[in-house]
Amino acid sequence: MKNRIRVLRTERGWTQADLAKLLDVSRNSVNAIENGKYDPSLPLAFSISEIFKLRIEDIFQKD
Amino acid sequence: MIRLSARSWRIIAALGFWVLIIAAWTVGGSTGLAIAYAAGAWLAAFSLQAWRRQDEFEKSAQKFSWMFGGLFGLLISLALLPAATQPGVISPLIGWVADALGSPDPVTPAFVLGAIYIALGQLVGFSVCWVGWHISKR
């Protein structure tokens, strides 16, 4: 699954560690999700969408 | 419950476990056995806390590693059994376990060594898989 998390994060001036803290996950998790190596669960995807104030489908797209 | 990180809970689990195991070994007898069970309970309780504090990424790594690493570790340890049971390979280890246990029963050290052998195989399989999973997700 592709996503725009890296773009959205850098637009806000956040580091991976900042986003990880907001999501209460490890920085490795954020890195793996950004690189498309790990697909987050639905609850985590909802948390990401809430933090960026966007819909899930505006952040994640099918390959 | 105090909100510690998963790593902190793991350290508490491991430290307490080994302190109690050493105490059990030192005391020995039925009291030592009771302390050894307490060590197991300690490890289980605090490992559960560590598990609950992990994020889903790490939980996925652990589930995957126990499933595949544990399984392949078990299968490889069974496949290596004919080599491990060759004369002269296992008898020194049984002697060492017998000395450590101080048990007069000749079957007990062999049984304990068998359990350690299988558990070690699974642990090695888990570790290899866990490291591989994290490398693949970079």
Inter-chain contact B138–A37, Cβ cutoff 8 Å? Answer: yes
CA torsion through residues B57, B60, B65, B70, sign: positive
Q: What is the rounded average pLDDT of the residues B124-137?
A: 96
Out of B58, B136, B138, whose CB is closest to A26?
B58
* A14 close contact with B: CB closer than 8 A: no
Residue A29: band (very low, low, confident or very high) from pLDDT cuts 50, 70, 90: very high
Contacts of residue A41 in chain B, CB cutoff 8 Å? 56
Q: Which pLDDT does position A2 carry in this prediction? A: 92
User: How far apart are the C-alpha atoms of A54 and A62, rounded to whole Å?
Assistant: 17
User: How far apart are the C-alpha atoms of B78 and B66, rounded to whole Å?
Assistant: 17
Q: What is the rounded average pLDDT of the residues B107-132?
A: 93
Q: Which pLDDT does position B123 carry in this prediction? A: 95
Q: Which pLDDT does position B87 carry in this prediction? A: 84
* Å between A12 CA and nearest CA of chain B: 23
* Residue B102 falls in which region: left (phi positive, over 0), alpha (psi -120 to 50) or beta: left
Q: What is the rounded average pLDDT of the residues B109-113?
A: 90
- pLDDT tens for B63-103 read 999 999 999 999 999 999 999 888 888 888 888 888 887 77
Does pLDDT of A63 surpass 90?
Answer: no
- pTM of structure: 0.82
Residue B138: closest C-alpha in chain A: A32
Inter-chain contact A37–B57, Cβ cutoff 8 Å? Answer: no
Above pLDDT 70, what percent of chain B?
A: 99
- pLDDT tens for B51-64 read 999 999 999 999 99
* A42 close contact with B: CB closer than 8 A: no
Inter-chain contact B137–A44, Cβ cutoff 8 Å? Answer: no
Does pLDDT of B22 surpass 80?
Answer: yes
Residue A20: closest C-alpha in chain B: B55
ipTM, two decimals, is: 0.87
Inter-chain contact A26–B56, Cβ cutoff 8 Å? Answer: no
Q: Which pLDDT does position B2 carry in this prediction? A: 67
Residue A11 Cα distances to A30, B14, B43, angstroms: 16, 42, 44
Does pLDDT of B1 surpass 80?
Answer: no
Out of B55, B134, B136, whose CB is closest to A25?
B55
Inter-chain contact A29–B56, Cβ cutoff 8 Å? Answer: yes
Average pLDDT, chain B: 92
Q: What is the rounded average pLDDT of the residues B96-121?
A: 87
